[in-house]
Amino acid sequence: MTATRDCDILIVGAGFSGLIMAIEARKRGFRDIVILEKAQDVGGTWRENTYPGVACDVPSHLYSMASHPNPEWSTVYAGGPEIWAYMQKVARDEGLYELCEFGQTLASARWGGQHWQVETEEGQSWRARVLVSGIGALHIPLVPEIPGADSFPGPAFHSARWDHDLDLAGKRVAVVGTGASAVQFVPEIAKTAARVTVFQRTAPYVLPRPDGPVKPWLRRLYRVLPLTRRIRRALFFHIFELRHAVFMGRPRAVDFAMKMWRKELERSITDPALQAALTPPYRIGCKRILSSNDWYPALARDNVEVIQSGVERIDGANLTAQNGQSIEADVVIWGTGFHVTDALERLEITGEGGLPLAKAWESGLQAHLGTAVAGFPNLFFLLGPHTGLGHNSVVLMIEAQVAHVVRLLDKMQSDGIAAVAPRPEAQAAFETEMDDRLSSTVWQSGGCVSWYQDDTGRNPTLWPGTVREYQARMAKAGIGDYRPVSTA
């Protein structure tokens, strides 16, 4: 254990959240900032997910920082390596690498009355006035516990831990899961694998997207005339905001999305039995709507087979599905997503009066405006509860949260307030509103179980409104939502 070091703002995580927080805090004049990052580089999601075909599912001009527009995106939906390189460049240009303590994993944080006392698993100790969590929601791979999994003789890995030393050409690959990652990597591996067997518990809705290379002349235009780039971003923003209507069950929007999906399915899949197998048994939008131009064509290939069931057990190289079908495989790839709602609960954080965060959240994740928790002074969660989206870029949500936090910190400084925590009644009203509004959405009543929900079926993950509404709410919320906390 090293000696305790001091800083003003301690940020945990160097993904989009942590980087945007550091950039905006510095703009406001806060200089004493440290970023703890458990890995060895910035990038978060885009450093961790390197599987073939990894890409964003909202256009890159929208899925990037407003403060750091990038005229050079090579495709409409940039691939993971390009997004990661963009984040590294932003971090280099802004001098953020100097703020980073890499290889440091937040182990615990305790409010000591004036400061947060933070310990890392690797033995660092920090004292900070403000603690900001930018740890993300999709970074702890979820691998289901399947009887006999240990007996599988070949390589088996999660999509977020891709084994790049393994050549899948000529191999029989079993893919478990049909979520956002599988939809991207299955079309890629199917090009060379001898056989790909996809275990699908529930079919997703997969819609086409207007992807493709951005022509060099257009990139030059974005470089030379920044207004054109801003117009493109604004255009994408408004188009993606319109998608919100699908989740609200507006008939015309739902019809439009359903027609688009059906056309895409029927264009690639001619076998009625396979069409039926790929038809989701729930309302569109209940689970995340996925986007790909390659998924259905990949499933139509001769070397790809879909088993309409999860894996029940593994005996050596044999995988047996719940419906009794059995196959032999050389490699297993878990496309089974991440621990989402329980990832935040795992944090060992102790607030005022020794209150553990796990206790404060025993009846479910909650945070005022998805950002701060009553009883936990000067602690802010970026992409906290109720800030996820089904229809637009979450970078916009992070930016709205960060703008709110830095404005609050600024105001505290000018008013001579050392610490604040949200008023419990403000937080309770926000949570009641969230639960009420979400209960009538397709996410809660569309006939599916999804990773948006916790063990009780509550949805603490998503923001029910448009991004524009959240931006307006965050811009309006001020110090009145918080109570000063005595640090005497």
Residues that bind ligand FAD (CB under 6 A): 12-18, 36-39, 44-45, 49, 54, 56-58, 63, 105-106, 134-136, 138-139, 181, 382-383, 393-394
Measure CA 29 to chain center. Answer: 29
In angstroms, the CA 201 to CA 308 distance is 6
The CA-CA-CA angle for residues 468, 474, 476, to 5°, reads 105
Beta strands in 123-176 (DSSP E): 125-133, 156-158, 172-176
Beta strands in 21-136 (DSSP E): 33-37, 100-102, 106-111, 116-120, 125-133
Q: How far is the CB of 358 from ligand FAD (least distance, A)?
A: 15
Separation in Å, CA 57 to CA 30, 135, 206, 292? 34, 21, 11, 8
Q: Which is nearer to ligand FAD, 36 or 319 (CB)?
A: 36
Q: Which is nearer to ligand FAD, 49 or 178 (CB)?
A: 49
Q: Which is nearer to ligand FAD, 36 or 299 (CB)?
A: 36
Q: How far is the CB of 431 from ligand FAD (least distance, A)?
A: 21
User: In the structure encoding, which two tokens stand for residue 237, read together?
Assistant: 């923003």
Q: Which is nearer to ligand FAD, 307 or 383 (CB)?
A: 383
Q: Which is nearer to ligand FAD, 137 or 485 (CB)?
A: 137
Q: How far is the CB of 105 from ligand FAD (least distance, A)?
A: 4
Q: How far is the CB of 322 from ligand FAD (least distance, A)?
A: 26
In angstroms, the CA 126 to CA 122 distance is 12
Q: How far is the CB of 139 from ligand FAD (least distance, A)?
A: 4
Burial of residue 281 (number of CB atoms within 10 Å: 0-12, 13-18, 19+): exposed
In angstroms, the CA 41 to CA 48 distance is 10
Q: How far is the CB of 401 from ligand FAD (least distance, A)?
A: 10
Q: Find out whether 137 and 383 touch, Cβ atoms under 8 Å.
A: yes
Q: How far is the CB of 311 from ligand FAD (least distance, A)?
A: 22
Phi-psi region of 457 (alpha: psi -120 to 50; beta: other; left: phi over 0): left
Q: Which residues contact 311 (CB under 8 A, 6 or more apart)?
A: 144, 146, 174, 176, 199, 319, 320, 321, 322
User: Any bridge partners for residue 181, and if so which?
Assistant: none
Q: How far is the CB of 233 from ligand FAD (least distance, A)?
A: 14
Q: Find out whether 379 and 363 touch, Cβ atoms under 8 Å.
A: no
Q: Which is nearer to ligand FAD, 135 or 448 (CB)?
A: 135
Q: How far is the CB of 274 from ligand FAD (least distance, A)?
A: 26
List alpha helices for 307-393, DSSP H. 341-345, 357-360
Q: Which is nearer to ligand FAD, 387 or 441 (CB)?
A: 387
Q: Which is nearer to ligand FAD, 365 or 394 (CB)?
A: 394
Q: Which is nearer to ligand FAD, 62 or 485 (CB)?
A: 62
